[in-house]
Amino acid sequence: MIRITNIAKNDRQIKALTGLSIKEFDILLESFSKILHEFLSANKNRQRALGGGRKGALIDARSKLFYILSYLKIYPTYDLAGFIFGVDRSRCCRWTKSLMPLLEQALGRTITMPKRRISSIEELLEVCPDAKDLFLDGTERRTQRPKKAKTRTKRYSGKKKMHARKNAIICDKNRRIIYVSPTKEGRIHDLQQIKKTGILEHIPPDKTLWVDKGYQGIKSSLKNGNQVMIPQKKPRGKALTTEQKQENKVISGIRIVVEHAINGIKRFGAMSNTYRNRKGQDDSMIYLCASLWNFHLQYSDC
């Protein structure tokens, strides 16, 4: 079985296995320990005091936090995770399902979680009061080929030529993720997906929205007269002028921050590897990985 105490002393190893440094891990552990204690104390059917009975493979909050972070970072199969931690694969499945909500609550107490729904201008201003520029882009991740033909049709992304699930991401100039849309099937267009969330109606008028060419026509969906910075698309049968190409280059160079934010999410194997789980767990996974990226940005320079 893996020795967590030895790994916790090596900054390079713990980054490779959890995505966080020793300092960041310890900060998150403090919040996670409180959440875990509250969760265990809330069990009314408990017959022993906390800590009583046989000791499991994950003996304390540190080992439990290490497991769920390493699962998101490495994204092993349950068979491999069971081998690493010295338990049956079914035990790893139960650990994952029970610990992911606790990790979400722990990250919620660090004030690093992005929004999943925006229903007013005031709500968006609470998240990013000082941001003048918002950067929007979509991200896709490959899934296993569905068995049902109807699901295959919905999930197939013509853009990426693969079966995928996708989200829309909004971040600020510091690469902090402000908003993560609900996960949809790969067939939906990027513009159609962000329209269905309704967030475009609640962007304050003083915010500038930076997007790529995939969002042609987004201006008509903005209700508050926001300025939109979007590269010019080459007209059919014609070419862009030198000035237009230079302008496109400048816009792309500025909006690259949203690509960096998406790459921050995809540091975790659960987001970059082929999705294998079922029952919509990918929606929880991208939310957790985006929150962990924000957590890393907030505490990496502390």
pLDDT single digits (tens) 285-297: 999 999 999 999 9
Position 194 pLDDT exceeds 60: yes
Q: What is the amino acid identity at position 296?
A: H
Q: Note the pLDDT tens digit of each residue in 214-225.
A: 999 999 889 888
In angstroms, the CA 282 to CA 154 distance is 16
Q: Is the dihedral of CA 175, 181, 182, 186 positive or negative?
A: negative
**pLDDT number for residue 6:** 67
In angstroms, the CA 26 to CA 285 distance is 21
Position 175 pLDDT exceeds 80: yes
Mean pLDDT of 23-40: 92
How many residues are listed for the chain in this entry?
A: 302
**pLDDT number for residue 198:** 92
**pLDDT number for residue 209:** 95
**pLDDT number for residue 25:** 94
Position 171 pLDDT exceeds 80: yes
Position 256 pLDDT exceeds 90: yes
Position 302 pLDDT exceeds 60: no
Q: How far is CA 72 from the centre of its chain?
A: 11
**pLDDT number for residue 155:** 93
**pLDDT number for residue 301:** 67
% of the chain beyond a pLDDT of 90: 72
Mean pLDDT of 155-160: 91
CA distances to 149, 186, 209, 244, 265 from 157, rounded to whole Å, are 14, 5, 25, 30, 20
For residues 209 and 226, is the Cβ–Cβ distance under 8 A? Answer: yes
Q: What is the amino acid identity at position 220?
A: S
Element (H, E) at 108: helix 89-108
Q: Note the pLDDT tens digit of each residue in 65-95.
A: 999 999 999 999 999 999 999 999 999 999 9
**pLDDT number for residue 264:** 95
**pLDDT number for residue 57:** 84
For residues 218 and 201, is the Cβ–Cβ distance under 8 A? Answer: no
**pLDDT number for residue 5:** 67
Can you spell out the DSSP letters for 36-55? HHHHHHT-TT--S-TT-S--
Q: What is the amino acid identity at position 167?
A: N
> Residues near 185 by Cβ (< 8 Å), separated by ≥ 6?
154, 155, 165, 166
% of the chain beyond a pLDDT of 70: 95
Q: How far is CA 161 from the centre of its chain?
A: 22
Position 132 pLDDT exceeds 70: yes
Can you spell out the DSSP letters for 67-85? HHHHHHHH---HHHHHHHH
Position 207 pLDDT exceeds 80: yes
